[in-house]
Amino acid sequence: MITSVRYLSLLTSLTAIAASVPAARADGPAGSGAGYNTSRVGPDNANCTRQIYQLDLTSSNVVFQNVDHNANQTYITSLFQTFLPSMSNFTGMYESSQQQNVVNNYSLSGTLCTPKNGTKNPSHVQYLIHGVGFDSSYWDFAASEEYSYVRAAADAGYTTFRYDRLGTGLSEKPSDAYNVVQSPTDLAIAIRFAQMLRSGDIGGQKFDKIVGVGHSYGSVQVQAITAHVPTALDAALLQGFSNNGTGQGPFLAGGSYSIATEVFPDRFSADELTNAYLVTAVPQANQFDFFYFPYFSAAAFNLTRATEQPATQGVLFTQTAIMGTAHEFTGPVHVVTGAQDLPFCYRDCYAVPPDAKYPNIPAYAQELYPKTSNFSVYIPANTGHAVNQHYSAPDVYQEMLAFVDSALM
């Protein structure tokens, strides 16, 4: 299990983040490294508005010490080597036993899309959080229209809100890739956006029902929201997720994570990103972590690589630390993980121990939800970690939307 109890108690202060009225401003010029075609705001069946939200936040962060903030590749790789065999040794060498409060204003780009053909209920929203290697275009993936979850949701009458996580897309890329851009900061942002959806600060609509939908590290954040602020969401849909950590090491090793400005000099410059913003080293490393051959098109793979977004080493080292048992969450929970997912199933979601309590690896996630009203799992066949980029995506979307229908009934 990858849940770290040590971090959880220290994160309780996140629930008490001071409320403030967020200022919104119009988009500036498109960032050079945004992972998406910035002239596309969304699919043509939805009325989409993209804007920058300024979030004033305090988060209780892990303190990395003895790390070289202007790390070179040799150093970054050696940190991964230390991290992989023994996390506790890494912790002793590179992390303080104390957390620190980090106070910042972050600019984040978010997009609200309402179905043009009317909503099932205007006060219901799906709140979409993407994972590592992507930005919010994971949810409006434009290799072809059938890959857009935003479109499928709008066709089904659902409003969606998605944002570029800190350090990706059109959102701010803070220079401190260890002590600022890490999972407690990302969780504080994710909680704040959920609160803003409730309070009418996004699109002027107060949403009474919010379904949190994540992918991978985005699902870790949705899970962490349900654990830390149990009333922030009404239902959770965790795509590309489990609470089995066996595949995390192979994921980090297989990605050969490398300095983004060196891998993609045409898209990322050193003015924008410091060295510990990382991407998979080569296309085949991206394939290794995210894809299951031959069940995806060359166009989907090429677009994923061409628009790949960085993750900081601080995020990669802390990404599962925010998970925890959601003791008070009572809504329904649905887990959708590809049968051949690498980081969360180590390539076989049915590889449970003999005499296992549950029939598959994702099903163990119900142990994080003692009070859920309904826990369910769907394991699409012939699907790797990047669910929305495989041929199965359109069918998977219908299954996900059936869960959303039942959750919002």
CB 315 → ligand NAG: shortest distance, Å? 20
Residues 151, 144: contact at Cβ < 8 Å? no
Quickly tell me which residue has 């410091």 as its tokens.
274
d(CA 221, CA 182): 12
d(CA 203, CA 194): 13
Q: Which helix (H) or strand (E) holds 248?
A: helix 248-255
Q: Would you call the peptide bond into 115 cis, given omega within 30 degrees of 0 as the criterion? A: no
Residues 379, 335: contact at Cβ < 8 Å? no
- For ligand NAG, which is the closer residue by CB, 4 or 54? 54
d(CA 400, CA 394): 10
Give how many residues touch ligand NAG by CB under 6 A.
37
Selection from 185, 267, 136 nearest residue 177 by Cα: 185
CB 335 → ligand NAG: shortest distance, Å? 10
Binding string, 178-207, against ligand NAG, x = CB under 6 A? ------------------------------
Q: Which helix (H) or strand (E) holds 285?
A: helix 283-290
CB 134 → ligand NAG: shortest distance, Å? 17
Does 56 engage in binding with ligand NAG (CB under 6 A)?
Answer: yes
Does 39 engage in binding with ligand NAG (CB under 6 A)?
Answer: yes
Residues 371, 248: contact at Cβ < 8 Å? no
- For ligand NAG, which is the closer residue by CB, 291 or 346? 346
Does 25 engage in binding with ligand NAG (CB under 6 A)?
Answer: no
CB 8 → ligand NAG: shortest distance, Å? 21
- For ligand NAG, which is the closer residue by CB, 9 or 319? 319
Does 72 engage in binding with ligand NAG (CB under 6 A)?
Answer: yes
First to last CA, the chain: 34
Selection from 239, 195, 247, 246 nearest residue 217 by Cα: 239
- Return the beta strands (E) in 185-240 as ranges: 209-215, 235-239
Does 366 engage in binding with ligand NAG (CB under 6 A)?
Answer: no
Binding string, 260-299, against ligand NAG, x = CB under 6 A? --------------------------------------xx
Residues 391, 296: contact at Cβ < 8 Å? yes
Does 101 engage in binding with ligand NAG (CB under 6 A)?
Answer: no
- For ligand NAG, which is the closer residue by CB, 9 or 101? 101
CB 196 → ligand NAG: shortest distance, Å? 15
Q: Which residues bind ligand NAG (CB under 6 A)?
A: 23, 37, 39-40, 47, 49, 56, 68, 72, 74-75, 89, 92-93, 103-105, 116-117, 244, 246, 298-299, 302, 334, 345-346, 348, 351-353, 361, 364, 374, 376, 403, 406
